[in-house]
Amino acid sequence: MAISSTYILTYLLIKMRKNVFYFISTCLLVFLIPIGLHAKDDGKTIKVDRFYIYEDQTHQETINSVAKKDFVPTKSNILNYGLSKSIYWIKFNLNTQPTNNTLIYLDQSRLSVAEMYLVKNDKITSVPQFLGLPSKLAQGVSFNLNTNIDSHTDIYLKLQTKEMFIVPIKVYEKSTLLDFFSMRQVFFGIYTGIMAVMFIYNLFLFVIIRDRNYLFYIFYILFTWLAQITIQGYAIKYFWSENSPINDYATVLFSCMAILFANLFTISFLEIKTYFKIGYNVLTVIFVLIIGNILLIFIAGNYIAFILMQVITSVGALIALLIAIYVYFKKHFKPAGFYLVAWSILLIGTFMFIMKDYGFIPYNNFTIYLLQISAGIEVILLSFALADKINFFKKENELAQAQALSASLENQRLIKEQNVVLEQKVKERTEELESANGTLNITLNNLKSAQSQLVDAEKMAALGQLTAGIAHEINNPINFVTSNVKPLQLDIDDLKEIIKKYENIDLTGDIEAQIHQIEAYKKQIDLDFVNNEITSLLSGINEGAKRTAEIIRSLRNFSRLDESDMKPIDLNEGLLSTLVLVRNNLPDNLTVIKDLGNLPKVECMPGKINQVFMNLVSNAIQAIKIKEVQQKEEFLTIKSWYDKQQVFISIKDTGTGMSEEVKHRIFEPFFTTKDIGEGTGLGLSIVFSIIEKHKGNIEVNSKLGEGTEFIITLQVNTP
């Protein structure tokens, strides 16, 4: 069917045989596509008789439960289930014994879930992804097999994609797969080269001519290329990481942007507003739908936006083709011929690309890149179309001025004026660059000011935390003192009353009766209890006073937050002061272990070093607090020691820990794993800066789920 469509288009091109570029396009379609369809396959593969599939719509199935399910046989090794949120389990067996270099390759770069399991004699083995291929060369997902697999081993694949579920599965030898990738790199390089050349060339023409057709066209090239490299998996290898937020939206977003600028280019290039008013209205509606779909990506997510993008693309492409046919044949607008041929080539290439996914044509390196090949031919022809449109209008102008005797003089004048205009534009552009440079300097100063403000904000946040801790810590012993004052006053009043009774004894009266009265009063107030209570209350007041004095000493030691003078200090004293001030933030199940060695005094800025201790200890406490599963007893270990003219400080927690990716970024400014509004992302950046200014070193040891340890090393400058 695709070949029949090719020859239909060939007839159309022959009707336009006066233009050499139409002839080139004819040759490409007549000879290149049939040769490509019969091209050599993608290498020697190990055949698999049949694949079986099970669809998990609940996302709850595991390998243990799936192994007991009934699987449905598939028709080919190219699994095409359209746009789906389901997880698909694929089951198959190998006919031959694999070698240590045998790989199962999934030719899909947009997989969000890709796991492999082996089941033999009811024993389940998980196979990790194979990372032994060059990362800049390989695409998709591969798993390494071994010689322990035989025909009785069931191989299970658990797969889910981010967009369309189209996953070809093949079994290769490693060397064959590398050859396969190398050939793909050739296609990708040619395609990228064509797109880059066309982009730069037409960008240059736009700068000179300032024709909006070129502007729409270069953006169409850019977003088409971005969409293709995202689908093919090159984007996450060269431009952004797989976990980057842009990777989730890239395919739909870039595709919609390419359709948007293709729509604008069609309206502008074909002069649809002049030649076909109804077509202009229809394409305007499509333009609005594309804008709405772009907004829908960020509101409702990729799933609905992807479906709408496919519908808009299909309908818009068909309408654009019909409009081009109408404008070319009915309105005799010659530049529309290039557009018609270019668009037809892209549609045929797209149609054949889709047929490859359904097994109607061979799946090889040519058909895999058939969409890119047709897109490359399309952008070349559209570039020719832009040039032909200029020639078309130029010929009309020459015919209109053919009778003018001053044609040559007019042309010279126009050339001179054009030179003046170009010089003026260069001057304007230079002025714009100078203005932009001034704006950038202002922006840079603003950024420096903003950075300073953020650092101050981080300091204020630390100060606020410090103040809250001090207030709570001082409040406890003060409450202890004030709560003891009243009972103590009452006990003293009782003692005063006894003394008063003794002082009022009438020596001339019945002394024995008066003494008996006083003894009765002693029993009434329980004098022994009063004496013991006074001792206890005084002891409590003394303890509260001692704790208050300890807090004041810690505060005095820590209050040198902005001291910038270098002076010898005891680092252990700073650590103990920090622990006193954060004591209020310690959870009940946290035990602080202090293993402080005998340290010499170190020349440093006391306030800055105290800020380092405060930030690291506060982060450790926070990491323990946010653990989802709290142990009966968590630990915060503070250790210091001296060795070989160096002082070491270790702050270790049993908190959440960090992944390798987070660990490598924690000292970046503004990077934070906390929720929005809970941190500025400057705490550890400031810590790193302070230690660096002290010519020290900070080391991070962390394991996800087990905890983190920061080790600070400072030099001791001995005379």
Q: pLDDT band at residue 1, thresholds of 50, 70 and 90? A: very low
State the pLDDT at residue 336. Answer: 74
Shared domain check, 345 and 312 = no
Higher-confidence position of 476 and 94: 94
Question: What CATH number does the domain containing 694 carry?
Answer: 3.30.565.10
Sheet strands side by side (includes 102-106): 78-83, 164-173, 102-106, 141-144
Mean pLDDT computed over 586-605: 86
Mean pLDDT computed over 283-287: 88
Alpha-carbon torsion (654, 659, 660, 666), positive or negative: negative
Does residue 425 sit within a domain? no
- The SS3 call for residue 264 is helix
Task: Specify the number of domains making up the chain.
Answer: 5
Shared domain check, 484 and 351 = no
- The SS3 call for residue 697 is strand
Q: What pairing do the DSSP bridges indicate for beta strands 567-569 and 590-596?
A: unpaired
Neighbours of 658 (CB within 10 A): 21
State the pLDDT at residue 9. Answer: 46
Shared domain check, 595 and 661 = yes
- The SS3 call for residue 96 is coil
Q: Is residue 614 predicted with pLDDT exceeding 70?
A: yes
State the pLDDT at residue 31. Answer: 45
Does residue 422 sit within a domain? no
Does residue 233 sit within a domain? yes
State the pLDDT at residue 551. Answer: 63
Shared domain check, 680 and 604 = yes
Shared domain check, 296 and 165 = no
Alpha carbon separation from 384 to 19, 20, 25, 196 (Å, rounded): 11, 11, 12, 16
Q: In the structure encoding, which two tokens stand for residue 493, read together? A: 């009043």
Does residue 417 sit within a domain? no
Shared domain check, 252 and 131 = no
Mean pLDDT computed over 688-716: 87
Question: What CATH number does the domain containing 537 carry?
Answer: 1.10.287
Q: Put residue 59 in one of left, alpha, beta given phi > 0 → left and psi -120 to 50 → alpha.
A: left
Mean pLDDT computed over 127-142: 68
Digit-coded pLDDT (tens) for 327-364: 888 877 777 777 777 777 777 767 666 665 555 666 65
Shared domain check, 516 and 551 = yes
Domain boundary among 529, 558, 587: 558
**In terms of Cα–Cα distance, which of 257, 268, 248 is closest to 291?**
257
Shared domain check, 663 and 684 = yes
Domain boundary among 558, 582, 600: 558
507 neighbors 563 (Cβ within 8 angstroms): no
Higher-confidence position of 244 and 619: 619
Q: Is residue 683 predicted with pLDDT exceeding 80?
A: no
Q: In the structure encoding, which two tokens stand for residue 169, read together? A: 């599965």
- In the block, tokens 């950075």 appear at 451
Higher-confidence position of 455 and 92: 92
Q: Is residue 495 predicted with pLDDT exceeding 80?
A: no
Instruction: Quote the domain boundaries for residue 527.
Output: 448-558
- The share of the chain scoring above pLDDT 70, in percent, equals 72
Does residue 413 sit within a domain? no
Shared domain check, 231 and 324 = yes
Q: In the structure encoding, which two tokens stand for residue 330, read together? A: 């009915």
- Phi, psi at residue 157, to the nearest 5°? -120, 130
Domain boundary among 125, 149, 180: 180
Burial of 631 (0-12, 13-18, 19+ CB in 10 A): exposed
Query: pTM (2 decimals)?
Result: 0.47
Does residue 15 sit within a domain? yes
Distance of CA 592 to the CA centre of its chain: 36
Q: pLDDT band at residue 2, thresholds of 50, 70 and 90? A: very low
For helices 606-625 and 571-581, what crossing angle results, to 10°? 40
Q: pLDDT band at residue 16, thresholds of 50, 70 and 90? A: very low
Does residue 259 sit within a domain? yes
568 neighbors 525 (Cβ within 8 angstroms): no
Shared domain check, 495 and 470 = yes
Amino acid sitting at position 695: K
Q: Is residue 449 predicted with pLDDT exceeding 80?
A: no
Shared domain check, 459 and 485 = yes
Q: What pairing do the DSSP bridges indicate for beta strands 634-643 and 590-596?
A: parallel
Residues β-bridged to residue 708: 653, 702
Digit-coded pLDDT (tens) for 27-71: 555 445 554 444 444 445 666 778 888 888 888 888 888 888 888
State the pLDDT at residue 648. Answer: 93
**In terms of Cα–Cα distance, which of 576, 591, 660 is closest to 621?**
591
Digit-coded pLDDT (tens) for 512-560: 777 887 777 777 777 777 777 777 767 667 766 666 666 665 555 555 5
Digit-coded pLDDT (tens) for 371-382: 667 777 777 777
**N- to C-terminal Cα separation, the chain:** 90
Q: Is residue 101 predicted with pLDDT exceeding 70?
A: yes
Q: pLDDT band at residue 107, thresholds of 50, 70 and 90? A: confident
Q: pLDDT band at residue 13, thresholds of 50, 70 and 90? A: very low
Q: What pairing do the DSSP bridges indicate for beta strands 141-144 and 72-73?
A: unpaired
Does residue 64 sit within a domain? yes
Shared domain check, 619 and 652 = yes
Which range in 273-277, 388-392, 531-535, 712-716 is most confidently predicted, on average pLDDT? 712-716
State the pLDDT at residue 12. Answer: 46
Burial of 237 (0-12, 13-18, 19+ CB in 10 A): middle
What is the rounded average pLDDT for all residues in the chain?
75
Q: pLDDT band at residue 719, thresholds of 50, 70 and 90? A: very low
